[in-house]
Amino acid sequence: MALSLVLLFVTGLNGKLGWVAAFFFSYVSVSFIAEYRRAGKPAAQDSLLTSISRFAIFLAIIPIASILATVISKGWRGLHWGLFTQDMSEATVNSPIQQGGMLAAIVGTLIMVGLALLFTLPIAILTALYLTEIKGKFARPIRFLVQAMSGVPSIVAGLFILSSIVYPVTGERSGLMGALALSILMIPTVARTAEEVLLLIPNDLREAGLALGATQWRTVAMVVVPAVKSGLVTAIILGVARVIGETAPILLVSGGGDATNVNPVSGPMGSIPFYVWNAFLLGGTEESTQRTWAGLLVLLLWVLILFTIARYISSRSQKR
């Protein structure tokens, strides 16, 4: 600490960034020298790598922690009960914060993500089973395709649904269309994660099932899938987390919307990211800024809850 202050003074580095850099160099070199004197060269090299990776963790945590801190500190004042019981049909983003709420957005997000999950689950899990259990002729190209698809920008998924279904077929934006666009983004994530956990299952187990006179299908259903249940739950949660914050495709194909709409096949449907985007874009007043932060906080809370559930489920089944 003291050394870094000295270094700061000597080298002319300034500001917070300078302090971080100076702290890094002084921390690494002090621990290196101390370890060298205590235990020799190999131990010192060891400590060098240890301190560098500690520093990397520190750097990685900074943005995450500051995002959380900012959102919570700015968002919590915007939280009120009406946020969960009212929608924006009778309020504008610039209305006082007590008027209007996120009901439409929350309901829309739940419906669209729920529907997307419904479409994604069978397709993604069966794809993963094809890649790991059936290992068919097309396994290699399909694996490549799934990997490539996980890099598809979300706006492309939105435009695809817009041009292939919304304009030529339904002629109307709706929550269902939003769910379809989200499915496109979700399938590769879930399929890849599911494939990875399925690959961890030793072949012994599959052989044991087959050697007991089971068909391959029953072996997969009764032995392989139960053995990776927690991994599959994690895959699903990761998929949900991937799409819950998507704004672009929702904007394009489900149309946003301020009124609470529970009918997914007709009429525009809002979502939490859309609410945030809307408040940010159309506002400019203190109230709208307040709404933006509150919306972000609610979204973050959802993601946090989902990850906590996933961790809980996977740790519980690992214990057994």
The crossing angle, in degrees rounded to 10, of helices 139-149 and 175-199 is: 130
In the complex, minimum distance from the CB of residue 192 to other proteins, in angstroms, rounded to a whole number: 22
CB of 189 to other proteins, least distance (A): 25
Contact of 148 with 163, CB cutoff 8 Å: no
- When asked if residue 204 is in the footprint of other proteins (CB under 8 A), the reply is yes
Tokens describing residue 25 = 């160099």
CB of 27 to other proteins, least distance (A): 43
Q: Is 18 exposed, middle or buried (0-12, 13-18, 19+ CB in 10 A)?
A: middle
Stretch that binds other proteins, among 35-43, 63-71, 81-89, 223-231 (CB under 8 A): 223-231
Among 14, 85, 89, 215, binds other proteins (CB under 8 A): 215
222 binds other proteins (CB under 8 A): yes
Query: How many residues contact other proteins, by CB under 8 A?
Result: 22
Site for other proteins in 33-92 (CB under 8 A): none
208 is a contact residue toward other proteins (CB under 8 A): yes
Rg for the chain, CA atoms, rounded: 25
Helix pair angle (229-244, 286-319), 10° resolution? 170
Q: How far is the CB of 202 from other proteins (least distance, A)?
A: 7
- Based on the shown chain and the rule CB under 8 A, indicate whether residue 202 belongs to the binding site for other proteins: yes
Q: Which region among 31-39, 225-233, 265-273, 278-286 touches other proteins (by CB under 8 A)?
A: 225-233
Contact status: 226 vs other proteins (CB under 8 A): yes
Cα–Cα distance list, 303 to 109, 194, 258, 268, 307 (Å): 12, 20, 22, 24, 6
Contacts of 56 (CB under 8 A, 6+ apart): none
Contact 151, 221 (CB under 8 A): no
What's the sign of the alpha-carbon dihedral 65, 67, 70, 75? negative
Q: Name the residue nearer to other proteins (CB basis): 41 or 204.
A: 204
Among 77, 80, 218, 311, indicate the residue that binds other proteins (CB under 8 A). Answer: 218
* Minimum distance from residue 219 beta carbon to other proteins (Å): 7
Q: Is 255 helix (H, G, I), strand (E, B) or coil?
A: strand
> Which listed residue (21, 214, 300, 306) binds other proteins by CB under 8 A?
214
User: By CB under 8 A, is residue 318 in contact with other proteins?
Assistant: no
What b/e string do you get for 71-90 counting C-beta neighbours within 10 Å, with b at 16 or more? Answer: beebbeebbeebbeebbbee
Considering only residues 118 to 147 of the shown chain, the ones binding other proteins according to CB under 8 A are: 135
210-218 own/partner pairs: CB under 8 Å, 24+ apart: 216/133
Which one, 224 or 294, has the nearer CB to other proteins?
A: 224
Q: Which of 101, 108, 175, 209 binds other proteins (CB under 8 A)?
A: 209
- Positions touching other proteins (CB under 8 A) are 135, 202, 204-215, 218-219, 222-223, 226-227, 229, 320
